[in-house]
């Protein structure tokens, strides 16, 4: 369930074969990505070349991360566990010192400031509510510089915002997971920080709560006007929640873009396989077309030479034919659609088709690609071509 | 700094020991008496360990693995003897016998005054067996039933199961209990002195207070420390080899309860009650007997005064110990490094080094290093705090381990600096641990004898010293109210242990 490459819980042994495992290489310097579309004015925060080495001689946990966040934007740091996303977040929050790189907020270099001087909110994975204080006191904790009355008024406001006014006198251990999370959020938002960092904020909630809560959290952040950086390993969560997604792997940023860009125009086989699923095939490209095992396909942008192409399972159509080029070797009915595994020569491919399709395992089929296909790993490929 | 405070005085002890020339040293050490002392110490330790195991093992088994009627009561009774320190137990045994003793006066027959190996072993066993009992009971409860059942399924008889499966699994608990008791016996001074049994600590005391041969005393103290450290080393070596945690991932089934028949119930209670009569009934009865012999009211002001003197040292000791333990614990838990590990190890020196030797080291240290401190309350309080630092450290450290670092980070993200975060978040979360540590040190310091004896400021007469010197002078009547005060107070300690124990178990 936590495997981010699977959009559903029905992974089988079939797919491991030729839904090619993500190559651990991200094209260097190719992070793509437009600025946040809703941006008004310059970025709130600019992070440049952030690096963190935990043990000398080992691969850096975070290796030259560069990104920006705009006012009011919700950014997701997405990647498999161990990709450095949490370390990046902790460096932004001031809980880890970077070995290199700079963090600037509204033009001020905050790289060396202690956490309490940054004015950045942090919502912890375990919520980190103060066990010796009740809900009201927890939310008031950061308001120690305000006069008592003002602080109390602000706490009341925040509790109302998250719908917990009735539970002000409860201790943290008397709250459900979802309630604890809302307290943690209220506590952070009470200070109206320009930026809130959220570390896997939904991982401690059960699956049903998660879907409901994440839209709530997004709404609360948008309402408060704070920008947010959310760390997650769940691609579905990132796609559903974020304005822009930063895909990370092995300490590096692979791609930055809107959910739509990331899904439809992945720059590397890693991104193509980590966000949704992809059949990665090789083709000979010439401008906007390429020769592939599926015959001639259209490309989303013009390239030349040998290219890797990411073909989404839903882009492939199956046409039953007695002497078809491929054989259906597995089928999984899922209600709203069906998964087919087909074998073409040495290669196994994943295809998603509508629920009405009736093709038995063992049948021969022809394959047709019905949409523009995305060239990936492109900087390396085009270098070879030239 | 704390580490230096621990080690520096011991260095003075070594210095003092090497003041004498080689020949003198050899003459001192090669005396047959030294060998005799070693044998005596070994015999006493072995005796106490053997007898306390004989008491604690069946007791723990009865409480944790059988359907003995009234197990809860037995559990409390088995821990209660901790309230009767070794020297008070010795007092009770002595007060039992003799012409004017409890037995002769009440039942009309006189026992000879208990002394020597038997007397000391008895007194120390009856006081220390609960430490072993607590360890063994936890081990019995933690032992997975399925292990024993697998052994049965593999063809072992119940007896074989006990020797081949159960007993090996109890080894870590036995070793831990033996370590506590062994260190206590090696360092004990009150009970052996009253029983006039010549072991190291007793002779060190004689040398120091009467003969005043400081070189010889230092050498004896060093040997004593060497013995104690050998015991610690030996225990840790043995424990390294013992890996008895369950390895499977399945959850344990719990413990199997043996059904005792009616005969078993009677036998069980017979065993329990004879232990209880000896360990609790006896001191209480003897004390009650002696208390009724004299005008109690007349001695009350003196007892209250003495109690106040004990308090005046125990309270600041507890606070100082907690204050020293706090940074050490924070260092160990939040900033682990080889240095913080070393400091933590050093903190346990005070626990492992026998109190008398520890106190002697501080006598030399203060006399030579800082004479102004000698025989001051400040020195006594500091030595208590150092000696019992490990006691305070334990609960504080576990409390810190339980406090999540993210909670502290959350305070930082909410705009609180490191100091404010420590005061407003860390301290309140670990307060129960700090209080527990302080209570432990406080109660131990209230009844402590050897350190007080060597380092007492002039005119300082706490409960323990008063009671001990009266008893050793044969003034059993006059000692009784002080002994009673110690017992009542120590019962509080036992209550605390039981509460803690219950929490840990639940």
Rounded mean pLDDT of chain B?
80
The answer to whether residue B361 is domain-embedded is: yes
Q: Which of B413, B431, B434 best tests the A interface by mutation, with the highest count of A CBs <10 A?
A: B413
Rounded mean pLDDT of chain A?
83
Tell me, what's the pLDDT at A177?
85
Closest Cβ opposite residue A130 in set B407, B420, B431? B407
DSSP A144-198: TTS-HHHHHHHHHHHHHHTT-GGGTT--GGGS-HHHHHHHHHHHHHTT--SEEEE
Taking only the tens place, the pLDDT of each residue in B68-112 is 888 888 888 888 887 788 888 888 888 887 766 777 777 777 777
Closest to B173 in 3D by CA, of B45, B64, B329 = B64
Token pair, residue B22, equals: 């080689």
When mean pLDDT is compared over A23-32, B18-27, B70-79, the highest value belongs to B70-79
Confidence of residue B3 (pLDDT cuts 50, 70, 90): low
On whether both B289 and B339 belong to a single domain, the answer is no
Closest to B24 in 3D by CA, of B156, B192, B172, B219 = B219
> H helices then E strands: how many in chain A?
10, 18
Please indicate whether residue B27 or residue B473 has the higher confidence score (pLDDT): B473
Out of A273, A305, A327, a domain closes at A273
Asked if A115 and B428 come within 8 Å (Cβ–Cβ), the reply is no
The mean pLDDT value for A60-66 works out to: 91
B372 touches chain A (CB under 8 A): no
Please indicate whether residue B72 or residue A7 has the higher confidence score (pLDDT): B72
Asked if A122 and B404 come within 8 Å (Cβ–Cβ), the reply is no
Token pair, residue A279, equals: 């059949």
Residues of A in contact with B409 (CB under 8 A): 93, 95, 115, 122, 124, 128
Looking at the predicted structure, is the pLDDT value of residue B17 above 90? Answer: no
On whether both A209 and A92 belong to a single domain, the answer is yes
Closest Cβ opposite residue A142 in set B404, B415, B431? B415
Residues of B in contact with A128 (CB under 8 A): 404, 406-407, 409-410
Looking at the predicted structure, is the pLDDT value of residue A17 above 60? Answer: no
Bridge-based pairing state of the strands A74-78 and A244-249: parallel
The answer to whether residue B24 is domain-embedded is: no
- Please give the helix or strand (H or E) that residue B395 lies within, else none: helix B389-402
Which of A193-202, B56-65, B162-171 has the weakest average pLDDT? B162-171
Say if CB A308 and CB A375 are below 8 A apart. yes
B430 touches chain A (CB under 8 A): no
Rg (CA), chain B: 24
Tell me, what's the pLDDT at B418?
87
The answer to whether residue B473 is domain-embedded is: yes
Give me the domain span that covers residue A248. Answer: 24-273
Looking at the predicted structure, is the pLDDT value of residue B10 above 90? Answer: no
When mean pLDDT is compared over A191-200, B92-101, B208-217, the highest value belongs to A191-200
Q: Which residue of A has its CA nearest to B412?
A: A116
Say if CB A204 and CB B406 are below 8 A apart. no
Residues of B in contact with A132 (CB under 8 A): 428-429, 431
Please indicate whether residue B66 or residue A23 has the higher confidence score (pLDDT): B66
CA distance A146 to B459: 56
Distance (Å) of CA B327 to CA B2, B8, B389: 10, 20, 12
When mean pLDDT is compared over A43-52, A171-180, B24-33, B213-222, the highest value belongs to A43-52
Say if CB A105 and CB A44 are below 8 A apart. yes
Closest to A200 in 3D by CA, of A247, A244, A238, A253 = A238
Confidence of residue B47 (pLDDT cuts 50, 70, 90): very high
Which residues fall within 8 angstroms of residue B388, CB to CB, at 6 or more apart?
B317, B321, B350, B351, B440, B441, B444, B445
The mean pLDDT value for A150-176 works out to: 90
The mean pLDDT value for A177-202 works out to: 90
The answer to whether residue B51 is domain-embedded is: yes
Taking only the tens place, the pLDDT of each residue in A265-277 is 888 888 888 888 8
Provide the number of CB pairs (under 8 Å) joining chain A to chain B: 68
The answer to whether residue A94 is domain-embedded is: yes
Taking only the tens place, the pLDDT of each residue in B154-165 is 767 777 777 777
Q: How many CB atoms lie within 10 A of CB B295?
A: 8
Distance from CA of B206 to the nearest CA of A (A): 53
Token pair, residue A149, equals: 């009355």
What residues does A376 pair with on adjacent strands?
Answer: A308
The mean pLDDT value for B184-205 works out to: 83
Q: What CATH number is associated with residue B9?
A: 1.10.3720.10
Distance from CA of A173 to the nearest CA of B (A): 14
On whether both B284 and B356 belong to a single domain, the answer is no
Looking at the predicted structure, is the pLDDT value of residue A6 above 70? Answer: no
Tell me, what's the pLDDT at A30?
41
Residues of A in contact with B434 (CB under 8 A): none
On whether both B272 and B308 belong to a single domain, the answer is no
Residues of A in contact with B404 (CB under 8 A): 126, 128
Tell me, what's the pLDDT at A3?
42
Please indicate whether residue B181 or residue B250 has the higher confidence score (pLDDT): B181
Tell me, what's the pLDDT at A65?
92
The answer to whether residue A13 is domain-embedded is: no
Helix residue spans in B448-475 (DSSP H): 450-455, 463-472
Looking at the predicted structure, is the pLDDT value of residue A27 above 80? Answer: no
On whether both B319 and B406 belong to a single domain, the answer is yes
The mean pLDDT value for B43-63 works out to: 92
The mean pLDDT value for B144-161 works out to: 72
Taking only the tens place, the pLDDT of each residue in B296-347 is 666 788 888 888 888 888 899 999 999 988 888 888 888 878 887 777 777 7
CA distance A175 to B79: 38
Looking at the predicted structure, is the pLDDT value of residue B291 above 90? Answer: no
Question: How many domains does chain B contain in total?
Answer: 2
On whether both A350 and A233 belong to a single domain, the answer is no
Confidence of residue A34 (pLDDT cuts 50, 70, 90): low
The mean pLDDT value for B279-288 works out to: 85
Looking at the predicted structure, is the pLDDT value of residue A104 above 90? Answer: yes
Q: Determine what percent of chain A falls in helix, strand and coil, rounding each to the nearest 5.
A: 30, 30, 40
Confidence of residue A103 (pLDDT cuts 50, 70, 90): very high
Asked if B409 and A93 come within 8 Å (Cβ–Cβ), the reply is yes
Bridge-based pairing state of the strands A374-376 and A338-344: unpaired
Residues of A in contact with B429 (CB under 8 A): 130-132
Please indicate whether residue B142 or residue B416 has the higher confidence score (pLDDT): B416
Distance (Å) of CA B195 to CA B240, B267, B472: 37, 32, 9
Closest Cβ opposite residue B412 in set A116, A145, A191? A116
CA distance B270 to B266: 6
Closest Cβ opposite residue A191 in set B407, B412, B415? B415
On whether both A269 and A287 belong to a single domain, the answer is no
On whether both B3 and B84 belong to a single domain, the answer is no
Burial class of residue A97, CB neighbours in 10 A (0-12, 13-18, 19+): exposed
Distance (Å) of CA B257 to CA A103, B135, B231: 64, 19, 35
Looking at the predicted structure, is the pLDDT value of residue A28 above 50? Answer: no
Tell me, what's the pLDDT at A22?
40
The answer to whether residue B123 is domain-embedded is: yes
On whether both B370 and B437 belong to a single domain, the answer is yes
Residues of B in contact with A115 (CB under 8 A): 409, 412-413
Bridge-based pairing state of the strands A279-292 and A252-257: unpaired
On whether both B323 and B215 belong to a single domain, the answer is no
Closest Cβ opposite residue B409 in set A115, A119, A142? A115
CA distance A226 to A158: 14
Asked if B410 and A93 come within 8 Å (Cβ–Cβ), the reply is no
On whether both B356 and B462 belong to a single domain, the answer is yes
Token look-up 């232990």 returns B275
Greatest alpha-carbon pair distance for chain A in Å reads: 81
Asked if A142 and B429 come within 8 Å (Cβ–Cβ), the reply is no
For chain B, report the end-to-end CA distance as a whole number of angstroms: 38
Out of A238, A273, A308, a domain closes at A273
Which residues fall within 8 angstroms of residue B138, CB to CB, at 6 or more apart?
B173, B505
The answer to whether residue A200 is domain-embedded is: yes
Looking at the predicted structure, is the pLDDT value of residue A88 above 90? Answer: yes
ipTM for the complex shown: 0.71
Tell me, what's the pLDDT at B468?
84
Bridge-based pairing state of the strands A195-199 and A120-123: parallel
Please indicate whether residue A183 or residue B177 has the higher confidence score (pLDDT): A183
CA distance B163 to B57: 13
Rounded-to-10 torsion of CA B222, B227, B233, B239: -160
On whether both A126 and A28 belong to a single domain, the answer is yes
Taking only the tens place, the pLDDT of each residue in A307-350 is 888 888 888 888 888 888 888 998 888 888 888 999 988 888 89
Closest to B483 in 3D by CA, of B456, B434, B449 = B449
Could you tell me the strand order of the sheet in which A279-292 lies?
A: A279-292, A295-311, A374-376
The mean pLDDT value for B215-229 works out to: 80
Closest to A159 in 3D by CA, of A138, A174, A143 = A138
Q: Give the number of C-alpha atoms closer than 13 A to the C-alpha of residue A215, restricted to the C-beta side.
A: 5
Looking at the predicted structure, is the pLDDT value of residue A213 above 90? Answer: no
The answer to whether residue B377 is domain-embedded is: yes
Asked if A188 and B414 come within 8 Å (Cβ–Cβ), the reply is yes
The mean pLDDT value for B440-467 works out to: 84
Tell me, what's the pLDDT at B94?
83
Token look-up 């580490």 returns B3
Token pair, residue B225, equals: 């420390």
Tell me, what's the pLDDT at B46?
93
Sign of the dihedral through C-alpha A48, A49, A54, A60:
positive
Say if CB A63 and CB A101 are below 8 A apart. no
The answer to whether residue B215 is domain-embedded is: yes
Give me the domain span that covers residue B121. Answer: 31-246+261-293
B418 touches chain A (CB under 8 A): yes
Backbone angles phi, psi at B334, to 5 degrees: -90, -30
What residues does A366 pair with on adjacent strands?
Answer: A319
The answer to whether residue A14 is domain-embedded is: no
On whether both B284 and B299 belong to a single domain, the answer is no
Tell me, what's the pLDDT at A51?
93
Sign of the dihedral through C-alpha A319, A321, A323, A327:
positive
Tell me, what's the pLDDT at B1?
64
The answer to whether residue B252 is domain-embedded is: no
On whether both A291 and A221 belong to a single domain, the answer is no
The model carries a pTM of: 0.70
On whether both B301 and B282 belong to a single domain, the answer is no
Which of A298-307, A344-353, B35-44 has the weakest average pLDDT? A298-307
On whether both A111 and A242 belong to a single domain, the answer is yes
Q: What CATH number is associated with residue A305?
A: 2.40.50.140
Closest Cβ opposite residue A122 in set B409, B418, B424? B409
CA distance A329 to A349: 10
CA distance B44 to A219: 74
On whether both A349 and A230 belong to a single domain, the answer is no
Say if CB A157 and CB A140 are below 8 A apart. no
Residues of A in contact with B411 (CB under 8 A): 130, 141
Confidence of residue B500 (pLDDT cuts 50, 70, 90): low
Confidence of residue A114 (pLDDT cuts 50, 70, 90): confident
Tell me, what's the pLDDT at B99?
66
Please indicate whether residue A91 or residue B235 has the higher confidence score (pLDDT): A91
Question: How many domains does chain A contain in total?
Answer: 2
On whether both B13 and B140 belong to a single domain, the answer is no
Distance from CA of A304 to the nearest CA of B (A): 51
On whether both B281 and B389 belong to a single domain, the answer is no
The mean pLDDT value for A113-142 works out to: 88
The mean pLDDT value for B124-151 works out to: 80
On whether both A290 and A269 belong to a single domain, the answer is no
Closest to A191 in 3D by CA, of A229, A137, A155, A148 = A155
Confidence of residue A376 (pLDDT cuts 50, 70, 90): confident
Distance from CA of B371 to the nearest CA of A (A): 46
The mean pLDDT value for A166-170 works out to: 91
CA distance B24 to B238: 37
Q: Determine what percent of chain B falls in helix, strand and coil, rounding each to the nearest 5.
A: 80, 0, 20
- Residue B100 DSSP symbol: T
On whether both A51 and A97 belong to a single domain, the answer is yes
DSSP A301-327: EEEEEEEEEEE-GGGEEEEE-TT-SEE
CA distance B93 to A301: 99
The answer to whether residue A28 is domain-embedded is: yes
Token pair, residue B374, equals: 């000698």
CA distance A353 to A365: 13
Distance from CA of A44 to the nearest CA of B (A): 18
CA distance B333 to B340: 9
Closest Cβ opposite residue A116 in set B404, B417, B431? B417
Looking at the predicted structure, is the pLDDT value of residue A14 above 70? Answer: no
Please indicate whether residue A167 or residue B476 has the higher confidence score (pLDDT): A167
Please indicate whether residue B54 or residue B344 has the higher confidence score (pLDDT): B54
């Amino acid at each position: 369930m936590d495997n981010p490459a699977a959009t559903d819980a029905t992974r089988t042994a079939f797919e491991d074969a030729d839904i090619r495992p993500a190559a651990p290489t991200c094209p260097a310097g190719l992070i793509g990505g437009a600025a946040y579309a809703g941006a008004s004015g310059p970025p709130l925060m600019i992070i440049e070349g952030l690096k963190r080495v935990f043990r000398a001689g080992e691969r850096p946990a975070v290796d030259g991360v560069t990104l920006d966040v705009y006012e009011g934007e919700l950014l997701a740091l997405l990647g498999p566990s161990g990709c450095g996303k949490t370390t990046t977040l902790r460096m932004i929050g001031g809980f880890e010192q970077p070995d290199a790189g700079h963090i600037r907020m509204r033009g001020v270099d905050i790289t060396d400031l202690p956490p309490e001087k940054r004015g950045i909110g942090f919502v912890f994975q375990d919520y980190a509510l103060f066990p010796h204080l009740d809900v009201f006191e927890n939310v008031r904790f950061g308001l120690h510089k305000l006069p008592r009355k003002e602080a109390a008024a602000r706490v009341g406001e925040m509790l109302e915002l998250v719908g917990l006014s009735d539970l002000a006198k409860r201790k943290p251990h008397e709250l459900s997971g979802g309630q604890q999370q809302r307290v943690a959020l209220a506590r952070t938002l009470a200070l109206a920080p320009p930026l809130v960092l959220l570390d896997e904020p939904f991982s401690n909630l059960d699956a049903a709560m998660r879907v409901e809560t994440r839209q709530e959290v997004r709404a609360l952040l948008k309402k408060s006007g704070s920008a947010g950086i959310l760390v997650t390993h769940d691609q579905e969560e990132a796609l559903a929640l974020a304005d822009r997604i930063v895909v990370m792997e092995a300490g590096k940023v692979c791609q930055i873009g809107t959910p739509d860009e990331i899904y439809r125009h992945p720059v590397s086989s890693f991104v193509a396989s980590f966000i949704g699923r992809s059949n990665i095939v090789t083709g000979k490209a010439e401008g906007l077309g390429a020769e592939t095992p599926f015959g001639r396909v259209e490309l989303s942008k013009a390239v030349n030479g040998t290219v890797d192409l990411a073909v989404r399972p839903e882009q492939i159509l199956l046409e039953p034919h007695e002497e078809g080029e491929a054989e259906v070797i597995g089928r999984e009915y899922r209600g709203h659609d069906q998964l087919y595994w087909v074998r073409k020569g040495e290669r196994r491919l994943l295809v998603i088709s509508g629920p009405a399709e009736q093709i038995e395992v063992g049948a021969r089929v022809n394959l047709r690609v019905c949409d523009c296909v995305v060239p990936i790993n492109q900087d390396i490929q085009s270098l070879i071509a030239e | 700094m704390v580490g230096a405070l621990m080690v520096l005085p011991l260095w003075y002890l070594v210095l003092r020991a090497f003041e004498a020339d080689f020949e003198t040293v050899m003459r001192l050490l090669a005396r047959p008496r030294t060998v005799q002392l070693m044998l005596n110490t070994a015999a006493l330790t072995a005796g106490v360990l053997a007898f306390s195991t004989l008491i604690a093992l069946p007791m723990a088994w009865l409480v944790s693995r059988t359907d003995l009627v009234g197990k809860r009561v037995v559990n409390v009774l088995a821990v209660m003897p901790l309230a009767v320190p070794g020297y008070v137990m010795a007092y009770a045994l002595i007060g039992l016998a003799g012409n004017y003793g409890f037995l002769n006066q009440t039942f009309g027959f006189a026992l000879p005054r208990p002394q020597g190996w038997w007397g000391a072993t008895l007194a120390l066993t009856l006081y220390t067996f609960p430490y072993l009992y607590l360890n063994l009971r936890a081990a019995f409860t933690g032992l997975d039933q399925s292990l024993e059942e697998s052994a049965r399924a593999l063809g072992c008889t119940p007896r074989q199961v006990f020797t081949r499966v159960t007993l090996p699994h109890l080894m870590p608990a036995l070793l831990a209990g033996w370590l506590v008791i062994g260190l206590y016996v090696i360092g004990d001074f009150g009970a052996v002195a009253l029983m006039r049994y010549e072991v190291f600590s007793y002779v060190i005391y004689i040398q120091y207070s009467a003969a005043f041969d400081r070189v010889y005393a230092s050498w004896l103290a060093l040997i004593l420390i060497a013995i104690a450290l050998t015991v610690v080393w030996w225990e840790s070596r043995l424990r390294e080899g013992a890996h008895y945690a369950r390895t499977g991932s399945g959850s344990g089934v719990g413990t199997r309860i043996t059904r005792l028949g009616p005969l078993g119930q009677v036998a069980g209670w017979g065993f329990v009650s004879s232990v209880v009569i000896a360990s609790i009934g006896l001191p209480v009865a003897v004390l009650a007997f002696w208390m009724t012999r004299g005008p109690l009211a007349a001695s009350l002001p003196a007892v209250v005064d003495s109690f106040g003197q004990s308090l005046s040292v125990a309270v600041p000791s507890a606070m100082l110990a907690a204050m020293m333990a706090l940074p050490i614990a924070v260092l160990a838990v939040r900033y682990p490094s080889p240095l913080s590990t070393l400091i933590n190890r050093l903190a346990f020196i005070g626990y492992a080094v026998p109190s008398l030797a520890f106190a002697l080291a501080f006598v030399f240290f203060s006399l030579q290093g800082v004479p102004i401190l000698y025989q001051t309350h400040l020195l006594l309080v500091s030595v208590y705090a150092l000696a019992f630092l490990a006691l305070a450290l334990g609960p504080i450290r576990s409390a810190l381990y339980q406090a999540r670092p993210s909670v502290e980070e959350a305070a930082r993200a909410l705009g609180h600096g490191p100091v404010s975060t420590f005061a407003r978040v860390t301290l309140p979360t670990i307060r129960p641990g700090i209080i527990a540590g302080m209570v432990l040190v406080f109660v131990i310091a209230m009844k402590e004898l050897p350190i007080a004896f060597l380092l007492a400021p002039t005119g300082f007469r706490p409960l323990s010293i008063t009671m001990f010197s009266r008893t050793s002078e044969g003034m059993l009547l006059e000692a009784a109210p002080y002994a009673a005060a110690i017992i009542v107070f120590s019962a509080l300690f036992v209550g605390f242990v039981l509460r803690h124990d219950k929490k840990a178990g639940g």
